[in-house]
A = this chain, B = another copy of it.
Amino acid sequence: MSNRPAINVRSMDLHTIKVACSNCNLRELCMPVGLSGEEMERLDDVVATRRKVKRGEALFHAGEKFESLYAIRTGFFKTCVTTEDGRDQVTGFQMAGEIIGLDGIVNDLHSCDAVALEDAEVCVMPYDRIEDLSREINGLQRHVHRIMSREIVRDQGVMLLLGSMRAEERLAAFLLNLVQRLHARGFSQSELILRMTREEIGSYLGLKLETVSRTFSRFAEDGIVEVKQRYVRILDTDALTRLVNAVQPACH
């Protein structure tokens, strides 16, 4: 690995082929969006290492020094802030192609935990190198800004959810958001396996786990979904949409 030829590496090293952004099937969702072939190869050099995270383990903890952003290759994460008295608030769920760690930039410290909800693998992107490269590649700069802005807009949506929606509306919004993101990754629009517990869903939605469970049951009674533990099949997307639409930001 250490003394491989400097050019045309990718065609000579099968392992490296797998690692490169240019060959990653997530490239349309992930960091390299909008980059040319040559630019993507430069990004490949930045995304040097990978890291596996076992289910239940943390990719990083609040308070740890911030050094890298992470692109999720496989697996599923939650981010959460833990309070001094032990409550903990899930601030988001992340899946393949999404970027975590942006919270660390302000203070050079992570401000939340990122925990794998299933065995996962992430691409490690040292932040210094991302900074350097995004000064040279306009498309990367734009994309980094967009990713951060997207996170801000997503957070606005969560505030709306937490601030002004009732339990049913929250769960409907949550389910629709999940399937929509899964669908963008080639999964079903109507079936999904929840990677998180009722308690984690509840924490994210500002509800207790019992309320989440009851709301699932009510949806099932009403024929809106079929629920068997972690398995969820959406039978009536429109019904969920109706619940949510009323409170969704007006599209101008």
What is the CA–CA distance of A178 and B72 in the complex, to the nearest angstrom?
36
What is the CA–CA distance of A155 and B163 in the complex, to the nearest angstrom?
13
Write out, one digit per residue, whether chain A residues 188-223 have a CB within 8 A of any chain B CB (1) or not (0).
000000000000000111100000000000000000
A148 in complex: contacting residue of B142, B152, B204, CB < 8 Å: B152
A84 in complex: contacting residue of B62, B151, B163, B245, CB < 8 Å: B245
* Segment at the B interface, from A34-42, A49-57, A105-113: A105-113
Closest B residue by C-beta to A207: B163
Chain B residues contacting A91 (CB-CB under 8 Å) are 156, 159-160
- A111 engages B153 (CB within 8 Å): yes
Judge whether A249 is part of the interface by a CB distance below 8 angstroms: yes
Chain B residues contacting A107 (CB-CB under 8 Å) are 153
Q: Which of A84-100 contact B (CB under 8 A)?
A: 84-85, 87, 89, 91
Closest B residue by C-beta to A147: B106
A164 in complex: contacting residue of B83, B106, B252, CB < 8 Å: B83
Closest Cβ–Cβ distance, residue A173 to chain B (whole Å): 12
Interface of A is mostly: helix
Judge whether A135 is part of the interface by a CB distance below 8 angstroms: yes
Chain B residues contacting A58 (CB-CB under 8 Å) are none
A83 in complex: contacting residue of B152, B203, B248, CB < 8 Å: B248
Closest B residue by C-beta to A146: B106
Closest B residue by C-beta to A127: B145
Chain B residues contacting A9 (CB-CB under 8 Å) are none
Chain B residues contacting A63 (CB-CB under 8 Å) are 250-252
Judge whether A158 is part of the interface by a CB distance below 8 angstroms: yes
Write out, one digit per residue, whether chain A residues 133-150 have a CB within 8 A of any chain B CB (1) or not (0).
011101001101110111
6 closest A-B pairs by beta carbon, nearest first, are: A63-B252, A105-B149, A155-B155, A162-B162, A163-B206, A148-B148
In the complex, besides A89-B159, A163-B205, 20 extra interface pairs with C-beta distance below 8 angstroms are A62-B250, A64-B252, A83-B164, A83-B248, A84-B247, A87-B164, A87-B247, A89-B160, A91-B156, A104-B149, A111-B249, A112-B156, A112-B249, A131-B145, A135-B138, A135-B141, A145-B148, A148-B149, A152-B152, A155-B158
